[in-house]
Amino acid sequence: MQFARGVMASFRIALIQLHVSAVKTENLNRACGFVRTAAKQGANIVVLPECFNSPYGTKYFPEYAEKIPGDSTQKLSDVAKECDIYLIGGSIPEEDAGKLYNTCTVFSPDGTMIAKHRKIHLFDINVPGKIRFQESETLCPGDSFSVFDTPYCKIGLGICYDIRFAELAQIYTQKGCQLLVYPGAFNLTTGPAHWELLQRARAVDNQVYVATASPARDEKASYVAWGHSTVVNPWGEVIAKAGTEETIIYAEIDVKKLAEVRQQIPILSQKRSDLYAVEAKTT
């Protein structure tokens, strides 16, 4: 596998497992503080969790929603530039033309917003006796793929429930992504059952790195996040994993390792396009 001039073969990613409170300004200030800490520890790409500036819940989304650009994204832009890093800003409730979205923004080291992903698949589930949640009661789905380039590799974005849809990861892989990032807040029912399983499945299916950033667990919250932010390599190995508490975890992303896995088990070139296909219907 040839590396383009200027592309680095390995880099450091940091996942911030933030304790999210009901006070937006506090969440923003603490998130930016953790970004600075991660940058000082050598992180090239820093990831915040889903809904990092707001409690997670349909009753909170309208109250905490803001425009993009807005106060929250301006702070993310400023801290990305200050720290000279790529910042994947978890997600925030976004308001646009009277509609609400669950939206992830990405900022380059000069503070420019280079990607905006609106959660494509809304979290509408009902596990009797355990959990019922309907994001569609207040949110609208996004309708586009989100891929961006860095000097390290190409990255594809999803948010939480998006990870359950293998087709999205396959399309990102077709588009050349080597790292898939999913800010997400699984819960105490779906977390132990599927959180790590889905990450390892997406990684092995596509021979990519997968990183997920969860809020820290707060047993007193109305929606209790599972935690356990994770990085999985293309062989399906968990190379970094948080517990449930507020923390930062780090992992080295080695693009050479990805190339080796694809050479050893060349499934991407062995697909039977004469029999089946997964294709994007939009750009």
Is residue 50 part of the annotated active site? The answer reads yes
Alpha carbons 247 and 143: distance in angstroms, whole number: 32
Judge contact between 17 and 214, C-beta under 8 A.
Answer: yes
Among candidate residues 23, 35, 119, the one with its CA nearest the CA of residue 82: 35
What are the distances in angstroms from CA 194 to CA 137, 146, 191, 218? Answer: 24, 24, 6, 20
Q: Nearest 5°: phi and psi at 86?
A: -85, 130
Is residue 160 part of the annotated active site? The answer reads yes
With tokens 């001039």, the residue in question is 5
Alpha carbons 9 and 3: distance in angstroms, whole number: 7
Q: Dig out the tokens for 257 from the structure.
A: 């390792």
Q: Identity (one letter) of the amino acid at 270?
A: Q
| Catalytic position from the list 24, 75, 116, 119 | 119
CB hemisphere CA count around 210 (13 angstroms): 36
What are the distances in angstroms from CA 249 to CA 68, 159, 229, 258? Answer: 28, 19, 8, 21
H/E element holding 114?
strand 113-118
| Catalytic position from the list 24, 32, 50, 116 | 50
3-state helix, strand, coil in the chain (%, to 5): 30, 25, 45
Judge contact between 185 and 223, C-beta under 8 A.
Answer: yes
3-state secondary structure of 107: strand
| Catalytic position from the list 32, 83, 140, 160 | 160
Peptide bond into 215 cis (omega under 30): no
Is residue 104 part of the annotated active site? The answer reads no
Q: Tell me the catalytic residues.
A: 50, 119, 160
